[in-house]
Amino acid sequence: MAARASGRLRPMSLSDDIGLPGDGPSTPASSVSGVAASTGAEPRGAAGHRWRPGEGLILLLWTLLVVGAVVVVLTRAEHDELTDPVKQAARGEVTGLGPLSLLTAAQFGGAMTALGDRYPDARATSIRVEPTRINASVRTGQYALHQVSVDVALKTHEDGSGETTEKGLALARVDPRGPERLVRAVNERTRTQPTDVDYLVLSVDSTSPRASRWALFLKRGTPPDQRRYTSDLAGHDVKAGS
């Protein structure tokens, strides 16, 4: 191509700026390269100011955080409410030989361990067992007597104290399988269910503690005069009414 200058045509050099129809003022190459080379520049608005989140956006984010935290707390509280063993027992969800019942060998054994941990070298003078609670009288030292309860979470609670001269039975000699064996044996003999059992009692024989026997009491399923059964410490030798 050629350009006219002073009435003459001259060749157009590559350095001449070539515009296209509709183009605005051209930008020098050096300016374009300078903008492209700049990195890390902070974003600016149309007026050249730094961008900052508005109050509405900040309030929205804060509200979402608060709501999320409340949901987490409520979900955790609901989970604890549903899975807490003591609360399950209070709602009547612990019965018979269910997983949390203190009549089972696992739970009863855990309760005896908890008693032994709290009262080392203790000797039981009596133990009463229900699915949701154990009440025990244990002797420690020379004459000290402790009235203790154990809940389904295997937590011990001292409910009273006194003195006794009864010899008692070492906790280590209380067979943890005894109560469950007796329950199953009576259920089989009487065609009742574990939920028909009211409670068991171990009354320790003060003259011969190892000869002590468990007594089981049914609350329904048989005639009233046929609701008491006994066994030895291991849950064997089951007898009716004795």
More confident residue, 225 or 30: 225
Q: Is the pLDDT of residue 210 over 90?
A: no
Q: Is the pLDDT of residue 3 over 50?
A: no
Tokens of 137: 């009288």
Paired sense of beta strands 123-129 and 134-140, if any: antiparallel
Q: Is the pLDDT of residue 53 over 60?
A: yes
Query: Where do the domains of the chain lie?
Result: 105-240
Specify the DSSP class assigned to residue 27.
Answer: P
Return the pLDDT at 70.
77
| pTM (two decimals) | 0.67
What is the Cα–Cα distance from 93 to 84, expressed in whole angstroms?
Answer: 11
- Which helix (H) or strand (E) segment holds residue 78: the answer is helix 55-83
Which pLDDT band holds residue 52 (cuts at 50, 70, 90)?
A: confident
Paired sense of beta strands 228-231 and 239-240, if any: antiparallel
Q: What share of the chain is helix, strand, coil (3-state, %, to 5)?
A: 35, 25, 40
Burial 172-208 (b: 16+ CB within 10 A, else e): eebbbbbbbbbbebbbeebebebebbebbebebeeee
Q: What does the pLDDT look like over 220-230, one tens digit per residue?
A: 888 988 999 99
Longest dimension (CA), the chain: 141
Query: Distance between the two ends of the chain, CA-based, in angstroms?
Result: 127
Question: Which has the minimum average pLDDT: 30-39, 54-63, 110-119, 167-176?
Answer: 30-39
More confident residue, 179 or 12: 179
What is the Cα–Cα distance from 21 to 44, expressed in whole angstroms?
Answer: 31
Which pLDDT band holds residue 67 (cuts at 50, 70, 90)?
A: confident
Return the pLDDT at 37.
44
More confident residue, 88 or 56: 88
Residue type, 13: S
